[in-house]
Amino acid sequence: MNNPYSGTSEGPVNPPPQPIVRWRLPAQKPYVTYFLIGSCVLVYLAQVIAKALTGYDIPALYGMKINEYIVAGQYWRLITPMWLHGSVAHIFFNMYALFAIGRGLEQQYGHLRYTILYMVSGFAGNVMSFLLTANPSLGASTAIFGLVAAEGIFIYQNRKLFRNARAMLANTIVIVVINLAMGLMGSVDNNGHLGGLMGGLLLAWFGGPLWKVTEIPGGFELVDQRDSNLTILVGAAVTLLFGVMAFLIK
């Protein structure tokens, strides 16, 4: 009897060709993430130098979230705190989180949509801090919490593409809960973190990547059903929502 795995008298049995799976990431290199990290580090160095020369942290004085000044018309303070930090430990942990989370998310979102996600999340976080926290605040964590929320939404909405989507979602939720719990034990602006989460969640849910498997000759291709124009519209809507909250409630 012939060995069925060694072929027949007509020749060897060739295995069937593997199907092609084509998935083109919107961004190959996370340039925006690297720019954000580099610019935050440069601003922090400016803070350190200014304090050493003058005794005052001038960038923080003119850029951190201070409610009285925002009410007086200095609205840029709802954006600029994302580039300011209060200590070496503060900027180190924020930049590490941005490096760890942001690179992959930027590749999935593409440069433009990722930039919108980051800015909208940071803005939403600073608005919630403005509404609910009287103390001044600064830091990129408002935007970073939005990235964490967006990663969770990406996994959930594309869960059929992941073998361990449930475990990945559980891990994301645990990270959020632990960080919020740690915020309760120190002088951390958890309201800003919650606002960033809300902003990132809304933008990701309605404007984040939604992949669909389509057949191509010889295999399959993953196609994003949402384009950057939708993300721009959703980003504008979320920004408007939180902007209206800031000016109507305060």
CATH of the domain at 182: 1.20.1540.10
Domains in the chain, number: 1
The predicted-structure confidence for 22-67, as pLDDT tens digits, reads as follows: 567 777 899 999 999 999 999 999 999 999 999 999 999 999 999 9
Q: Which strands, in side-by-side order, build the sheet including 219-224?
A: 20-22, 219-224, 211-216
pTM: 0.86
Residue 71 in any domain: the answer is yes
Q: With both helix axes pointing from N to C terminus, report the angle between 141-157 and 88-109 in degrees, rounded to the nearest 10.
A: 30
DSSP-assigned letter for residue 48: H
Residue 5 in any domain: the answer is no
Token representation of residue 73: 């018309």
Residues 6+ apart with CB under 8 A from 161: 211, 213, 222
Residue 7 in any domain: the answer is no
Which residues sit opposite 214 in a β-bridge?
221
Percent of the chain with pLDDT over 90: 67
Residues 6+ apart with CB under 8 A from 124: 142, 146, 195, 196, 198, 199, 200, 202, 238, 239, 242
The predicted-structure confidence for 140-177, as pLDDT tens digits, reads as follows: 999 999 999 999 999 999 998 888 888 888 888 888 88
Domain interval for residue 103:
26-249
Catalytic annotation, residues: 141, 193
The predicted-structure confidence for 69-97, as pLDDT tens digits, reads as follows: 999 999 999 999 999 999 999 999 999 99
Residue 100 in any domain: the answer is yes
Distance of CA 84 to CAs 74, 116, 239, Å?
A: 16, 19, 21
Residue 10 in any domain: the answer is no
Look at residue 35 in the predicted model and tell me its pLDDT.
98
Say if CB 133 and CB 197 are below 8 A apart. Answer: no
Residue 19 in any domain: the answer is no
